[in-house]
Amino acid sequence: MITLRPANERGTANFGWLDSKHSFSFGRYYDPEHMGFSALRVINDDSVAPGAGFATHGHRDMEIISYVLQGSIAHKDSEGNVEVLPAGEFQLMSAGSGITHSEYNASQTDPLTFLQIWIQPNTLGSSPGYQQKNFGQPVGLTPIATPTGENGTLHIKQNATLSQLILAPNSQLTYTIAAGRKVYVHQVAGELMVESQRLAAGDGAKITERHTITFKNELDDQSTALLFDLP
Q: What is the pLDDT of residue 103?
A: 97
Q: What is the pLDDT of residue 69?
A: 98
Q: What is the pLDDT of residue 140?
A: 97
Q: What is the pLDDT of residue 125?
A: 97
Q: What is the pLDDT of residue 205?
A: 98
Q: What is the pLDDT of residue 50?
A: 98
pLDDT beneath 50, residues of the chain: none
Length of the chain: 231
| Beta strands across the sheet bearing 140-146 | 2-5, 204-207, 182-189, 223-230, 161-167, 140-146, 154-155
- Nearest alpha-carbon partner for 191 in 202, 205, 201: 201
As a whole number of angstroms, the distance between CA 217 and CA 77 comes to: 39
* DSSP state string for 66-84: EEEEESEEEEEETTS-EEE
